[in-house]
Amino acid sequence: DTAVSQTPKYLVTQMGNDKSIKCEQNLGHDTMYWYKQDSKKFLKIMFSYNNKELIINETVPNRFSPKSPDKAHLNLHINSLELGDSAVYFCASSQSMNNEQFFGPGTRLTVL
Amino acid sequence: SQQGEEDPQALSIQEGENATMNCSYKTSINNLQWYRQNSGRGLVHLILIRSNEREKHSGRLRVTLDTSKKSSSLLITASRAADTASYFCATDVPGDYKLSFGAGTTVTVRA
């Protein structure tokens, strides 16, 4: 039973397209996150939701829109994809803020 | 901006040896965490140490925290090939829910 799962694992798409990445956690956690990891392995927070409420919204282009239909799910929709969006995107969850985080396996996005 | 910075960037050791890596940060923290990332995988939590703690152990892992120097170290004893991974420190600061990660130390354990 996977604690934090993401789909798809790989996503290859053309510039200008719109795509979504889905995340689900079965840990009963209240808080979920989206991170972007670049080619140098630098990991940066993008968004965080606590009990379905957006609490962290870093300086991210508004082409990126998170959606949390319920506490167990946090999806990421990206409009008008650009080359610079190519990265690995990780979803994570934690019981509450500032606790240990559990990461999903990542989604490798390649924009051509 | 990046809060934590790991040192060294890369480390290569023989199986059975100990591996030590350091993390320095810039501002006062609530907690400091260490994570491991195997190639092509997500991050796995290793240890969380609070700002009022100085040392923590978990199996073959030992973490120290020196808040006066704004630094932490992670020691892996008796390393194994399976310890080959990237190791990241992450900090959170008072009043902020954000976890800031360093760039990581890549550890290679040679058989």
Average pLDDT over residues A22-45: 94
A-interface mutation test, from B29, B86, B98, most A Cβ less than 10 A away: B98
* pLDDT digit string, tens, across residues A23-32: 999 999 999 9
Would you call A23 helix, strand, or coil by DSSP? Answer: strand
Nearest CA in chain A to B2: A44
Q: Per the CB < 8 Å rule, is A48 touching B98? A: yes
The mean predicted confidence, pLDDT, of chain A is 93
State the DSSP code for A112.
-
Is A98 near chain B, with CB under 8 Å? Answer: yes
* pLDDT digit string, tens, across residues A61-102: 999 999 999 999 999 999 999 999 999 999 999 998 878 999
* pLDDT digit string, tens, across residues A74-83: 999 999 999 9
Higher pLDDT, A58 or A6: A6
| Half-sphere exposure at residue B51, Cβ-oriented, CA atoms within 13 angstroms | 15
Distance (Å) from the alpha carbon of A36 to chain B's nearest alpha carbon = 11
Determine the pLDDT at residue A18: 98
Determine the pLDDT at residue A51: 86
| CA–CA gap between residue A22 and residue A8 (Å, rounded) | 7
Alpha carbon separation from B3 to A24, A54, B29, B108 (Å, rounded): 28, 23, 10, 25
Distance (Å) from the alpha carbon of B44 to chain A's nearest alpha carbon = 7
How many CB contacts within 8 angstroms connect chain A with chain B? 52
Task: List B residues 3-42 in contact with A (Cβ-Cβ < 8 A).
Answer: 30-31, 33, 35, 37, 40-42
Determine the pLDDT at residue B49: 96
- Residue tagged 């719109």 (tokens): A18
Determine the pLDDT at residue B38: 96
Determine the pLDDT at residue B6: 86
Is A40 near chain B, with CB under 8 Å? Answer: yes
Q: Are B22 and B75 in contact (CB under 8 A)?
A: no
Mean pLDDT by 10 residues, chain B (111 residues): 78 97 93 95 96 96 97 97 96 85 94 90
What 3 state SS string does chain B have? CCCEEEECCEEEEECCCCEEEEEEECCCCCEEEEEEECCCCCEEEEEEEECCCCEEEECCEEEEEECCCCEEEEEECCCCHHHCEEEEEEEECCCCCCCEECCCEEEEEEC
Determine the pLDDT at residue A1: 61
Q: Closest to A45 (Cβ–Cβ): which among B37, B48, B99?
A: B99
Nearest to A40 by CA among B63, B68, B104: B104
Determine the pLDDT at residue A52: 84
Q: Per the CB < 8 Å rule, is A58 touching B98? A: yes
Q: Are B31 and B47 in contact (CB under 8 A)?
A: no
Determine the pLDDT at residue B96: 80
